[in-house]
A and B are shown apart, each in its own frame.
Chain A
Amino acid sequence: MWKRDESVKPASGTVTPTGPAVQSQQSSSSASQPEPRPQTGRDVVNIGKSVVIKGELNGSEDLTIEGQVEGKIELKDHVLTIGPNGKIKAQVFAKALIVLGEVHGNVNATDKVEIRDGGSVDGDIVAPRVAIADGAHFRGSVDMQRKGPEAAAKPQAQPRPAAQAAPAAPQTPAAQVAQSASR
């Protein structure tokens, strides 16, 4: 037992500066040093249930939203997770979006969009990969850019004709929802 403690102490001191976030948190609790910053590029920030944000939300780290956001969300190189309690009325731009709550608005993701069981999206999705689970709600359109040499050759060419072909602004699913609600 005692031997073990002795062996742990010096080890924690050496691990702290280079170790990952979780390890550094453990070492900070045992050591009496001023808190070493546990934050790395992979930290996840959480917006709690009671938080309501109206406006534009920008960030450069992964984000989980359990509260309400209205406006616009931009996390272009990061993962946005809408938790089961999250309610979003916004345009969303992210690397990846995982939906367990509700999203009303158009979604643009450079990597993927996942609507999980119980999740709901009312809006148009543009993403190379889209996964909609059984039990998820979705209303709108999905635009998946085709992968492969053709798409690589003209990455900008595909969305434009689709956008032209798509209904005009008042005809977005959000408008459709409004129409059906008014009926």
Chain B
Amino acid sequence: MPVAFSDLFTRRRKEEPPEVVDGPGQPTKALDRFLAGLSGRTAPVLLDLGPVVGSNVTFFGQEVGCKILVEDLSKDIDRHVTEGKLDDLPRFFDTRFPQESETIDGILCWDIFDFLDKAAGERLARQLKRVLRPEGMLLAFFATAEPRPATKPTYTKHVVVDRGRLQHKPYTAARAKQRPLLNRDIQRLFEPLRITENFLLKTNLREVLFRKPPKPQADA
């Protein structure tokens, strides 16, 4: 049966997996800047809002020499969904972080804001801005494409391969990604933090690096 060359290529394209999961990792631009921002500090404290990834703990511990606090918010979201208490999520975030104000040097939000609606996102952002130290860094990823309703909801475990690469490992989520945030929404959400880097990757992922402005010095 004769097959046209073009048919061969289209077939191959269809067979390709939609997303590389266990490959060598996908590029990240912002992580390196984030680490650079933390490197000058003595004994920085890092807050990781993703699931516990052993290799990440080792990486950040050795690379930055920091203390790492792991607060897996995906579990909190799942619990609220399964208990049918999603409306309580914004209030829950008000008391979720026991850390004192301005004690954290860096926050890794990963893509957690994609899974929150506006109210919950605002309350979470408020808490993160509170705990972040002046000149502290916050790294967050945002999807730019509308979530496909048919697909099974998944969170992404971001495994650091090196300073320039992340491995994205999906795992089952109780809640799907919400509508993507626009640039100005992101900016407003984190005000008064300043966006220092904003990368739109080929994977349609937006990596945004924020910095908390220094405290205004009182005139003597």
Contact = CB atoms under 8 A, between A and B. Distances in A.
A144 B61 contact: yes
B187 interface: no
A161 B57 contact: no
Given A144-B65, A161-B43, A131 B58 contact: yes
A168 B99 CA distance: 8
B194 interface: no
B67 interface: yes
Nearest to A147: B62
Contacts of A137: 52
A176 interface: yes
Nearest to B98: A171
Contacts of B53: 132
Interface in A58-106: none
Interface string A143-157: 111110001000001
Contacts of A151: 65
Contacts of B156: none
A166 B67 contact: yes
A167 B54 contact: no
Contact of A167 (B42, B52, B98): B98
A158 B43 contact: yes
B54 A168 contact: no
B52 A162 contact: no
By size class, the interface of chain A is 35 or more
Contacts of A130: 54, 57-58, 61
Contacts of A175: 98
A142 B100 CA distance: 17
Nearest to A121: B52
B109 interface: no
B98 A162 contact: no
Contacts of A162: 43, 45, 67
A176 to B, nearest CB: 6
Nearest to A171: B98
Contact of B57 (A142, A147, A157, A183): A142
B68 interface: yes
A165 B54 contact: no
Contact of B65 (A134, A145, A166): A145
Contacts of A159: 43
Nearest to B105: A165
A64 B99 CA distance: 34
A133 interface: yes
Interface string B49-63: 000111001100110
20 contacts: A130-B57, A130-B58, A132-B57, A132-B58, A139-B70, A140-B70, A141-B68, A141-B70, A142-B57, A142-B61, A144-B61, A145-B65, A157-B42, A158-B42, A159-B43, A161-B43, A162-B43, A165-B103, A168-B100, A183-B92
Interface of B: 42-43, 45, 52-54, 57-58, 61-62, 65, 67-70, 72, 92, 95, 98-100, 103-104
Closest 8 CB pairs of A and B: A146-B65, A132-B54, A144-B61, A171-B98, A143-B67, A162-B67, A141-B69, A161-B43
